[in-house]
Every structure is written in structure tokens, then in C-alpha cells.
Structure 1
Amino acid sequence: MDNIIKQALHKANDHSTINNMNRVAGGSINESFLVETQCDRYFVKHHADSPVGFFELEAAGLRLIRETLSISVPKVLAFSDKKGEAFLIMEWVEGHGTSETQVKLGERLAAMHQNYGAKHGFEKDTFIGTLPQPNGLFSNWLDYYRDRRLRAQLELGVRKHSIAGRRQEQLEKLLERLEDWVPRDVPPSYLHGDLWGGNWLAGPGGEPYLIDPSFLYGDRHFELAFTELFGGFATAFYEAYASQFPLADYYEDIKPLYQLYYLLVHLNIFGETYGGQVDAVLRRYV
């Protein structure tokens, strides 16, 4: 690791002496480190067997969010996707949440969602965790969500044997009828794409920062639905968001369908632990 971190620092134009290097919590996918040099402090992620483009895509997502000037993200200093030596080096962000942090998070996310792409999806295939996420640019949200999100997880689940029998039949029926619930013509908002409670943090002054995006353009309610799935967001967050960008009337009706994608992802990564939740959504709509 010493050599990889030195490479990261050199690529970030810091050639000074490393004073401290400590492993920190950073999710289950990467090894993560706080690195302190004579010049600065950095957050370094390393993946010994990363897929092609893994950190390039994360850096691109952070850049696109940063360019909206709506919500803070860590500054990316350098990255490499060289096999066995892949890394991402960013500024170190540290702070403490205040009573206003989740209010700011809701307001800032609403502002980010009012930035739009030309089409839905993304021009490159990305990852959700380490699962490949096929993309492409689509003229409408319905086709993208059905074919690149739900169908992609269905096909993966069939290959992994996590989706079969009645579950497979119901999911295929749902895809046939998806237009009964999912809107076709909605604005393609800038979306973080993997916004659960572990993918934001409080920085200096309690300022919220988004981290670890799986960026796409799409229906903003898809993002909000995921925030409700595993917790980590206060009532004040949702109130602040709605005060800046009121939710569509269809949100409550469609929320489980949008959460279904992330449940399928977890089913395909972690197994049958999430099978019951998947089946519950399918029973509701099929």
C-alpha cells in the first residue's frame, strides 16, 4: 500500500513526506485511508481488483455534481484505474453535523435536482457497488428505467439464481405493465444515484457533502425513494427538500417501484436476505 499511496500523492502533486497513514472506515468495497503529509491531509481509496473505469466513473460523477454549484462534494485530486493499483485521492473532509445540516442537505439536493441533462441515463456504463450498471441515453424515463435498471437486474438475478419461479414471473409481468405507474416524460434531473445514509457526510461548519455517486440523469423521485429505504435522513431533510421543490402527486404510489431497483441490487449482491422485500413489492403491483 505504501507504494500505491505514494503514487497517488505524486499524481496529486504532493511530493512531501508522509507523516501519518491510518486506515479508516470507507465502506465494504474499497480500502480507505487518511493520509497526512507535510502539506495536507487526504482521503485515499484503493481497490486491488477494481473493474475497468471504476474510479474514473466515480470521479466523473463527483465532477458533474460539483459543476451544478448546488451541493458540496470532496475535490478529486487524482485517480488511477491501473489493474491492481487503482486509487482515488480526494481532499479530506471533516466536520460535525449541526441542527441545520439535514435542512441544508434537503435544500441543496433540491437545487441539484433542478439541473437537467438532455436525456435519461448516462453515456457510459457505471457500477452500483461493484455490480455493472448498463446505461445509455434514452429520450424517456420509462424505457430507461424498465430496460436498463429493472430488466438488467432481472437478467442478472436469473443468471445468479436469485430470481426464479414465481418471483421471475411476477417481475416479468411487472415490466410488461410498468407504464401503468412509471412516467414517460419527466425532466432528466442530475441524480447521485446511490444516495443512502452512508453516502453523505457533514463537513466544516456542518455543510453536507455527497460522496460515492453512481451518477445518472433521471426522475428525481427515484433518488428520494432510495433515501427512504434504509434510513439516515431526518424529517427535516424531507421538509426542506419539499419547500424548495415540491414532490409530484404520484410519488407515494410509485415509491415502492423505485425502491424495487435497489432491493434487486441488494438481492443480487447479498442474497435471499432481501428476497422478502422484493416479493412484497411485486405482490403490491402484480
Structure 2
Amino acid sequence: MIDASASIEEIKQYIKNHKKEPIKFYITWLDNITKQKIIFIVEEILRKYKIEKYASDAVYIIMELISNTIKARYLHIITIKILEEKFPHFTKKIESGEYFDDYDIMSEYSNILKDDDTKNELKEYIRLENKLIKDIDNNIPIDEIKYSKLLLCNQDIKNKLTIKLLSRINKNDIYFEIVNDAPLTMISRTRIDSKRLTFKEYYNKNLIEKFFTEQLDNSESAGFGLALCDLRLFNQNLEPHNHLQIYDENNKTHSKLILPIRKEFSFIVYNKY
């Protein structure tokens, strides 16, 4: 396991010494130094297996997935806070992590996700985080008062809600997987699947630009980003729904990018007669 505090050299040695083990990289902020380390991990692994041709697209897709995951993490935190304030009798189950299978709690959870006040608070979190990352990138000491909302949020979830970038390799494929401890609700999953399917229909009709003008609005930035990810996969002759999978497993959100190591060969059998 490595985290964002590790140096490039430490990451390089870790990859070298753990050839057969999954690589786990823990992420808190997506500042420039963390981005550089993620790029290094991806490029180092792809170079090792001689599929550098995927590097630019893989980095773009992974960064997009991580950005979406960070937003989902904040949205989860905001939603849980509102749930506990509005429904104090839910608190015990929430604190024990036993609420995922509770219909009443998850129904209210989904309602809060869709609420405009929730979306506005998410925008405030993202705005504040962008300022914090700018300070980090400019080597400005973190102002604990100015960013107390963010810092407290991350302290509270340190051992309960994390974002991980994992890399696994088998004889045919390389897997880059982003795991978020926040759940993927049925509403969110349906929205994601629907937008990706719609984009595929536009792509097949060679109407890509029309998709972005007709199908998306300012509230659907995740849908916009995933469409661009799918477009990059199409351009690499990879079927997006096979090579970019987003799903819920054990109440965690998984976003998995799958890149082939070996080419798939098609054989034509000729009839001799």
C-alpha cells in the first residue's frame, strides 16, 4: 500500500518490489503532486507491458474517474450529515454502518441526493477544495481555520471513507480500479448507464457533437466527462462498456478501466471445398 505522501522514487521501488501484488494508492486531494504520481504509476505499468499507446487516454480516464469519486465522497458526507439532522433515529444504524440495507434510510438518502440544497452545498465543498489545492500547489501552508470544514470532514472519515486507486494485472489485461467507500445508489447507476448508452447511440450514428449539445446540461458534468472517456475508448477500438465498468459492490462504488495486454486475434476458417 502506498499513499499520496510517498515520493516518486518510493513509488518506483514499490512497483518494482511488488510485481505480483495489486498496487494500492490512497488519495485525499487531487493536487498537482498527486496527479504527477498517478501519471507515473500508470505510465510505468503500461511501459512495463509495452502498451504505452494507451497512456494518454488511460491517464485522462483515471483522472476523470477520481474527480467524480471525490465529488461522490463529498456528496455522501453531506447527505449523511443531513440524514442525521433530519432523522436522529437513523443515527445508530448510520454510525454502525448498518444502514445500506435499510429501505427507509436509503429512500431518504436518495431523496436528499436529488435536493437542490444538497447540490449547492456540494458546490461549496468543491469550491473550497479547489482553493485548498491551489494553496497546496503554490506551497502555501494550509490555513486550518479557512479550510476547517474540509479538514474536519477528512479527519472524520479517515478510517471509514477512502478513495483508492488499485492496479491489478493478469495474463490478458491490466485493471486500474478506483474504489470509493461511498455507495452507488440505484438512481445514480441508472443515470450513468442511461447517459453512456445514449452516447453510444449518437456515436454509432456519427452524431457526437450533437450529443453534447442536446443531451447534457450544466448539472450533468459527470455524464459529460464519462462520454469523453467512452469516446477515447472508441478511438482506441475498445468497446467502452467492456473496458470501463462502474458498479456497486459491498456498498462501495467501483470504477474499473480494463486495458488489454494481448491482442485479440480473429481467425478466418476457409472452406477447402
TM-score range, shorter chain: under 0.3
User: Which protein is richer in strand relative to its size?
Assistant: 1
Give the alignment's TM-score, normalised by structure 2.
0.26
- TM-score by structure 1 length? 0.25
Higher helix content, 1 or 2: 2
